[in-house]
Structure 1
Amino acid sequence: MGKLKLLLKIQILGTFGLNKALHTDRAKAKRSIALFALAAIAVGVLCVGYSMGVAFSLAEFGLVDSVPFVAVLVGSLAGAMAAFLKTNGVLFAFKDYDIVMSLPVTTMEVVLSRLAALYAISLLFGAVAMFPAFGVYASYAGATAGSVAMMALSVFLAPLLPMAIAVLLAVGISALAARMRHANIVTVVLSIAAVLVIVVVPYAMMGQAGGDDAAFASLVAQQLSIMVSVLPPIAWASEGIAGANVGLFAAFAVVSVVSAVAAIALISNRFATINTLLMASRPQGAFSFDEGKQAKAGARNKLRAPLAALLSKEAARLVSTPIYLMNSCIGYVLVLVAAAAAAVASAFGMLPAELFEGEIGPLIGSFLPWAMAFFVGISSTTAASVSLEGKSRWLMYTAPVSSRTILAAKALLNLAIAIPTIVVSDLLLSFAFGVDPVSAALVVVIPVAVSVFVSVFGLAVDSRRPRYDWKSEYEPVKRSIAVMVTMLSGFVIVAVGMLVTALTGSIGAMILPIVLIVVSWLLFKNIASAPLQE
């Protein structure tokens, strides 16, 4: 148990580079902790507000007994998403694998310490979403002591089953991709498909209940009934809490715990084999004994301008690092899928007629740009791009180009992905909702301005606080303060933008993108004029 505690301590102190900061610069460590706490509180407040809003809405529509089901569902999804996106890099394919396994610890202790990190992340997100919803439920339903106990237990139990499934799914995808020639690309494609299934399928199943003009409360009840029928363990937990059915809740608890224990046993038994498979690399060079081909390749490289060469390098790193690509670009994928789904639904007459009538139509046109900007604001390849240079950062420092060119290439990569995505999504959404020309223009201008800002802001934060001593790409991508602060800035901009739009209308919505572009330009000039940090 003592060794397990030490491994857990290493995992915790490794988060956000706190261990290094504590042993080199305590003042910096305090600033890092304060910044992380501020960002965590801000995100937590947003999650609590959203959770309470959904719970109050269900209660007002007479669906109080459905609140526990939705709360446990959210906790389960938190476990699935956290485990799926973070398995590779935390549990598998970490670069200090040989060092860790040479320590006088058992494989089970290594597995438990790393699964505990995944579980803690899932539990944190789940608790922030579930407790407020349960509070609303208790205030409306007058929950008994037994229900309160089951609500508290469900927060700890909800992530277990989806975590076990998600970890095994992530390992299976990586193992399958590792046997193929373009392993990283296959991993990314399969991972994006899995995320879309996790996120989109619940909404698709709920949408199958719609298509008529029934009352909203009846529609929501019907949608939730579909979810209950296809997710028995969550339904058992909900019935246990709302119906005081201890037997069903016990069944939920047993299934959750047994699945987690089985996953731990399976992973521990195959831990070395799985890591060996995932960390196996195949040389993929362009070397050829044909001197003519080498000469042509060299000529092509010489003709490329420095900015184009650096942009190509950044794109290659993005594609070759699945966790980096998934974390920084999933927002673009989601908004594109959502826009395509809306366009298809509109083409087949599946969108409710109420969306185009009365006051709802103009409201959609006003706030649609900010809905897109939300997904763009949480997506930025720049927030980890400097730190990901890692041990190869000497190339940055010795290259015969200015820091402006190096940083511009990193920002341009994000914009090269964001702008086409935004334009295509705008065309699809404009067709789906029939927005007026001004709103259609804002659906492009606002998300592009937000993308420019988060690109430059993420670059500014990461270039000022780079973290080069990572052992897995997971650390700068998932444990980076720069990534968290950049995502938080996207949240804040969207919240402010929606408020300004609500108070001032289209005028404010037109002014804010101009402000963001100007601030981004001034910020880029500032970071480009300073030398890159070591």
Structure 2
Amino acid sequence: MINIWRLTKIQLISSFGLNKALHTRDMKERRKMLLLSIGILIGIVMMAVVSFGYSFMIAETLEQIGRPELLLAIMMAVTCLIGFFTTIYKASGVLFGSKDYDLVMSLPIKTSHIVASRVVQLYVLNILFSLMVMVPAGVVYAIKVNPAVVYYLFFMITLLFIPLVPIIAATIIGTLISWISSRFKGSRLISLILTFAVIIVIILGSSQMNGNDPQLLADMSTQIADQIFNLYPLTVMYVDAVCSYQVAPLLLFIGISLLSFMLFTLILGSKYKAIHTGLTTSYSKNKYQMRSLAVSSPLYTLYKKELRRYFSSSIYVLNTSIGMVMLLVMAITLLFVSSEQLGKIIEIPELSNYLSRLAPLFVSLFVALSCTTSSSISLEGNHIWILKSAPVPTKTILLSKITVNLTITVPIVIVSSVLLMISLGTGWMESLLLLIIPVLYACFTAMVGVIVNLKLPKLEWTNEVSVIKQSASVLVAMIIGFISLLIPFGLSFLLSDLNGNLVMLGIGVVILVACGVMYRYIQSTGEFLFRAL
């Protein structure tokens, strides 16, 4: 156990940059980390407040039908589902994507302990979200029911074990995908295809489940309990332990969680080296033949390099393109399901009107989730000196990263926008805005990512996950993207009396001006920031 704890501690310190933050003497760096910590704390508090409000509204409905215990079951199911979904495409990077593999494997430590430490790292990343969802729900339940003192003890104990089984299940799927793909040439491509297939099946399965009984969540009757309990039997044990104070379900819940963890680490530990070797092995397609060399411009050459780097990392592709996949799935779905039917399914009667008026912003929301540039500079790591010493302008280097982002987003935006034009039956002006505004947001998001990453680089890392999912630049760029959409959404509702096309046109002009200002900033200040890295 001591080896698992030590490895986990080192990995977490490295992932979150805690060592540098605690021991740096640079006051500018300390101030930056302090402001970032305050921002993260404010974000956590805001999410907890939203979670409390959502739990309180559900509790009000459940109280009317005499089933308050379903609140904890529902919120536990939400926590497990989101943890499962996000861990599927994160597991492979944490388990097999570390640069310190050779160093760690040379230590006199069992392979199962190394695997266990990496699974614990996934657990720590998920327990934070579990706390933000379950603690407010537990407080609401205590207010409504006024339970016995033993409730608080059982609630705190089980809270630590809630994310464990979903993480193990998601990690098993991620590991199976990695193991299957390692048996073939082009293992990274096969891994990406299989992971995307699993995610799309989950999305379609969820929508199909909701479509079969659209009144399931609205009624809040015993049907919802049966649905949750059948899909995830551990929820029954959890409710019996926490709400009914039964010791046997508590011990069974903890025992299943711990046993799953131990069995998984032992089994994966026996195959860990083989899977890692398969994933890192490269194959030569054919013998090299001397041919005439093609000459490309510096921008195109750097663009090809960036594109190869992008597709060489499965976690990079999955984390930054999942928004585009969801957008395409939604656009295709609307060809077969009308917006009126979709509004009934998700209980938003005015969804058809909202989509017709705010379709460009809905599409842009998925674009904001697909920013590759917010971590592209950090991913250079300790090899960034190669780019800095290259005989090309800094602007060309940064533009190559922006171009890759546009390559990922713009083609899917265009296809999805055309599909939405067909399904929504938009006029020529609405169609033009539906096409132009998301493309402008793609440019805006890409340039915001570059600027933020220049300001908040993270070049010292051992695992790509710590850069792609946990770095400050990714978080700040995402917040800016959401704020840039939240304001137009608010203005559209406030100015609902005005012509919707005129409002969207104004929003497009503002985004275009913002893109122009950021482009000039990259030209003027970008070189200074890049050379200072």
Q: Deviations over 1:236-293 (max 9, x none)?
A: 32454455555445433332222122212223344434433333x124477523x3xx
Partners in 1 of 2:9 and 2:77 — Cα distance? 30
- Note the residue ranges of structure 2 that are not aligned, 5 or more in a row: none
Alpha-carbon deviation of 1:453?
Answer: 2.0
Equivalent residue, structure 2, for 1:518 = 513
Partners of 1:390 and 1:96 lie apart in 2 by: 13
Matched, 1:262 2:260: no
Q: Which moved more, 1:372-381 or 1:58-67?
A: 58-67
Structure 1 segment 137-286 matched on structure 2, within 5 A:
137-210=141-214, 217-218=218-219, 222=223, 225-242=226-243, 246-279=247-280, 281-284=281-284
Q: CA deviation at 1:20?
A: 4.5
Once residues 66 and 433 of structure 1 are traced to their aligned partners in structure 2, the CA distance between those partners, rounded to angstroms, is 38
Partners in 2 of 1:432 and 1:137 — Cα distance?
Answer: 43
Residues of 1 paired with 2:347 and 2:112: CA distance?
Answer: 58
Deviation at 1:428, TM superposition (A): 3.3
| 8 Å contact from structure 1 (residues 75, 155) kept in 2 | no
Corresponding residue to 2:318 among 319, 326, 343? 326
For 1:323 and 1:377, the matched residues in 2 are separated by 18
Cα distance in 1 for residues equivalent to 2:426 and 2:138: 38
Partner SS state of residue 479, structure 1: coil
Match of 2:442 among 441, 451, 462: 451
Closer, same or farther: CA 3–398 of 1 in aligned 2, 3 Å: same
Structure 2 vs 1, CA of residues 193 and 402 (structure 1 numbering), >3 Å: closer, same or farther?
same
Which whole-Å deviations, capped at 9, do the CAs of 1:63-83 have from their partners, x for residues lacking one? 744321221112213432453
SS in 1 for 2:269: helix
1:41 Cα deviation (Å)?
3.1
Does 2:410 correspond to 1:419?
yes
User: Aligned match of 1:346 in 327, 333, 338?
Assistant: 338
Query: Which segments of 5 or more consecutive residues in structure 1 lack a partner in the other structure?
Result: none
Please give the TM-score of this superposition, normalised by the length of structure 2: 0.86
TM-score, length-normalised on structure 1? 0.86
The code of the aligned residue for 1:123 comes to: I
Report the counterpart of residue 371 of structure 1 in structure 2.
362
Structure 2 CA distance for aligned equivalents of residues 357 and 71 of structure 1: 21
Q: Deviations over 1:316-354 (max 9, x none)?
A: 21112111111111111112212222332229x954679
The CA RMSD measured in Å over matched residues stands at: 3.3
| Mapped partners of 1:82, 1:415: distance in 2 | 24
Q: Which amino acid aligns with 2:322?
A: I
Assess, with a 3 A threshold, how the Cα gap between structure 1 residues 232 and 418 changes in structure 2: closer, same or farther.
same
Once the two structures are superposed, the pairs formed by residues 424-439 of structure 1 within 5 Å of their partners are 424-434=415-425
CA spacing shift, 1:412–1:130, aligned 2, 3 Å: same
Q: How does 1:27-176 map to 2 (within 5 A)?
A: 27-45=27-45, 47-62=47-62, 64-176=68-180
CA deviation digits over 1:412-453, x for unaligned, max 9? 221222122223323334444556666555544443333222
Task: Pick closer, same or farther for the CA change 1:400–1:277 going to 2, 3 Å.
Answer: same
State percent identity of aligned pairs.
28
Q: Take 1:354 and 1:193, find their aligned partners in 2: how far apart are those partners?
A: 24
What's the CA shift string for 1:166-188, capped at 9, x where partnerless?
22221211121122121111111
- Structure 1 stretches (4+) deviating beyond 6 angstroms? 353-358
Pairwise CA distance, 1:106: 4.2
Q: State the partner residue of 2:305.
A: 313
Q: 1:404/1:271 Cα in 2 relative to 1: closer, same or farther (>3 Å)?
A: same
Q: Structure 2 counterpart of 1:122, which letter?
A: N
Check the 8 A contact 1:78/1:125 in 2, yes or no.
no
Asked if structure 1 preserves the Cα contact closer than 8 Å seen for 2:72 and 2:137, the reply is yes
Is the Cα contact below 8 Å between 1:311 and 1:412 reproduced in 2? yes
